[in-house]
Structure 1
Amino acid sequence: MNAHPQHDDPDNDDETVGTLLSRRTALRLLGLGGAGLAVGGGVLAQGTLAQRRGSPPGGAGGTGASGAASLPGCVVRPAMTEGPYFVEEELRRSDIRRDTTTGQVSAGVPLTLTFVTSRVAVGACQPRAGVLIDVWQCDALGVYSGVQGGGGDFLRGSQVTDARGRATFTTVYPGWYPGRAVHIHFKLRPLNAGGQATGEFTSQLFFPEEVTDRVHARAPYSRKGRRNVLNAEDGIYRNGGNQLLLSLTGSPEQGYKATFDVGLNIG
């Protein structure tokens, strides 16, 4: 999938692309009007969805806030490129650390990532069940399973959101590979009664640099050395990644948790 073209003006966001809500439409539905349009910064992709704010910044050992953490309710986040490493596994599971072909569990600092999907309605976000969520990422040394000449299926998996619109994945904090900042890929596909996808949204999640510094100083990450691209230097992050920056609670010793709330009005 190719990256979507970007708006140069963050206020030039009132175009609806396909069946995805524009930022302006989402704010209008939530009763925020134009007051919130300048909040949050970043460059918006044309392919966007309305997204609720994630877990609050701070907490014990936590740090980092999304680019629009001061906005209540639903705002808009950018779609991002799928990249070359997506594999249609149909591997339904919550703990994605284990490679089912070898039984080996990916080493690294534990990360619990919860998605909460909603439908943006007038004045509120309503929980949305039946959304297939795919997650895929590299391991602590920057390797993806099933690609790059290798096999396996570690650090890949999918789940369908429950009646509360929730799906939680147990994984590890990602490592890095040349040319990219630290990130996790995700894809959202609403399913109909027959289990067929009726829409698709793909993007990436990013991590606060100060947390990554602490995590990557530990084994096995430290074997890879210092990453060569920070968020601000990543061409994909620069196109709205600050709006996809996770707020984390926890520590390298105990692991981290993050919640990512998504208002999805496609399908």
Structure 2
Amino acid sequence: MTDGSRTEGSQQPYHTAKLTRRKVVIAGGAAVAAAGVGGTLAAGGASADERGGEQDACYVLTAETTEGPYYIDADKIRRDVTEDKDGIPLVLRVKVIDSDSCRPLKHAAVDIWHCDALGLYSGYEDASQGGPGGPGGGEPPTGTPTDVPTGPPGGGGGPGKTDPTDDNRYLRGTWLTDRDGHVEFRTVFPGWYRGRAVHIHTKVHVGGKLTDTGYEGGHTCHTGQFFFDEASVLASAEVAPYSTSTTERTTLTEDTIYDQTGVSGGLLRLRYKKNHIAGGVIASITVGVDPDETHEGQDGVTPAPSPSASAP
């Protein structure tokens, strides 16, 4: 998904933690040359060393989440998913590891999908209706919200799968990890819609292969979501077209899917030029998966408790 570090919740280092089959390596970051980002940087989200020289440390991870209603099976094999969508340039760098050994998982297919700067999902524009004038309304997010969102979420539906309502496929894509477990996408900073904090959906598939029609076979070993720290979201809300949104916004602490555990719950490390988030953001995270397990995102995942309504 301002200067200074953020508290990530209670996470014990590898040498003291009781490890399970679900672990994650806190790595992340990368050279700042991508996406036109340079100079003095503001960092938010998960604290991590620079990619390439990181000192890996494993932490318990139980960040399986709901798939949500707007997933479309991997049929866009590409790293640049932006198409013609306006928004703050975002480079998303993900490292996938085997949670049992902490070794990189190569040739895994990673899906990402998320809404645009005004809350709309491709394939489901009629259902999501996250832009100005859509359900939710409210004032533009010029500060930290104090009211708990009420009423039905703008995303509609619920966690169950629904059929696409249009042929658009912007801000969706699938790509394979390299031999070091890395995969990189170019997209835009997501917007928000009523009932959910800013997030990116993801799936990790193993055991399949690329074909002319997409990625086929194998199974889904991880379904999760990536999240953005509140300070960075507020900074994005000052930039057009995000600043034109009148949709009520849910904060990270109000979100019912994010489990409030920092990087182990999917919190991204964000890097961008100080006071100039419009110039581009680098987001990074390392995710531990169990390649022998199957997690489709419809297997009874329990969201974090929250008084607000939520649309996955």
Same fold (TM over 0.5): yes
Task: State the alpha-carbon separation in 1 of the partners of residues 272 and 47 from structure 2.
Answer: 20
Counterpart mapping for 1:149-228 below 5 A: 149-192=165-208, 196-225=217-246, 227-228=248-249
User: What is the aligned counterpart of 1:250 among 272, 285, 289?
Assistant: 272
Contact 1:36 / 1:71 at 8 angstroms: preserved in 2? no
Q: 2:46 is matched by which residue type in structure 1?
A: S
Q: Residue type of the partner of 2:88?
A: V
Q: CA deviation at 1:73?
A: 2.9
* Residue identity (%): 31
Whole-Å Cα distance in 2 between the matches of residues 90 and 157 of structure 1? 8
Structure 2 residue 35 is the aligned partner of structure 1 residue 66: no
Are the counterparts in 2 of residues 141 and 176 from structure 1 also a CA contact under 8 Å? yes
CA RMSD of aligned residues (A): 3.3
Deviation at 1:169, TM superposition (A): 0.4
Please, what TM-score do these two structures have when normalized by structure 1? 0.73
The number of residues matched between the two structures is: 223
Q: Where in structure 1 are there 5+ consecutive unaligned residues?
A: 1-9, 12-22, 39-45, 99-104
Q: 1:106 aligns with which of 85, 92, 106?
A: 85
> Of 17, 22, 47, which aligns to 1:36?
17
CA 1:83–1:120 in 2, change beyond 3 Å: closer, same or farther?
closer
Residues in 2 aligned to 1:230 and 1:161: alpha-carbon distance in whole angstroms: 31
The one-letter amino acid paired with 1:249 is R
Deviation at 1:254, TM superposition (A): 1.9
Name the residue aligned to 1:133. Answer: 110
Amino acid at match of 1:119: D
| Whole-Å separation in 2 of the counterparts to 1:183 and 1:235 | 12
Aligned-pair CA distance for 1:50: 2.0
CA pair 234-246 structure 1, distance change in 2 beyond 3 A: same
Tell me how far apart the structure 2 counterparts of residues 205 and 250 of structure 1 sit (CA, whole Å): 17
Shift of 1:72: 2.0
Which of 51, 64, 89 is the matching residue for 2:24? 51
SS at match of 1:222: helix
Report the secondary structure of 1:36's partner residue. Answer: coil
1:150–1:177 distance in 2 versus 1, CA, 3 Å = farther
What do the CA deviations read for 1:38-86 (whole angstroms, capped 9, x no partner)? 9xxxxxxx9x8322114269x9433223389999234314111111010
Query: Partner of 2:103: helix, strand, or coil?
Result: strand
* CA-CA distance at 1:37 after TM superposition: 5.2
d(CA) in 1 for partners of 2:245, 2:116:
11
Q: Which residue of 82, 97, 100 corresponds with 2:82? A: 97
Q: Alpha-carbon deviations, 1:135-156, whole Å to 9, x = none?
A: 0000000000001244300000
SS in 2 for 1:213: helix
**Deviation by residue 1:6-31 (Cα, 9 ceiling, x = unmatched):** xxxx99xxxxxxxxxxx99xx8xx6x
Check the 8 A contact 2:113/2:172 in 1, yes or no. Answer: yes
Gaps of 5+ in 2: 1-8, 31-38, 50-54, 128-164, 211-215, 293-312
Q: 1:135/1:193 Cα in 2 relative to 1: closer, same or farther (>3 Å)?
A: closer
SS at match of 1:168: strand
Shift of 1:119: 2.1
Distance 1:237 1:67 in 2: 18
Alignment partner, residue 142 of structure 2: none
1:237 aligns with 2:258: yes
Deviation at 1:226, TM superposition (A): 6.4
Mapped contact 1:51–1:77 kept (Cα < 8 A): no
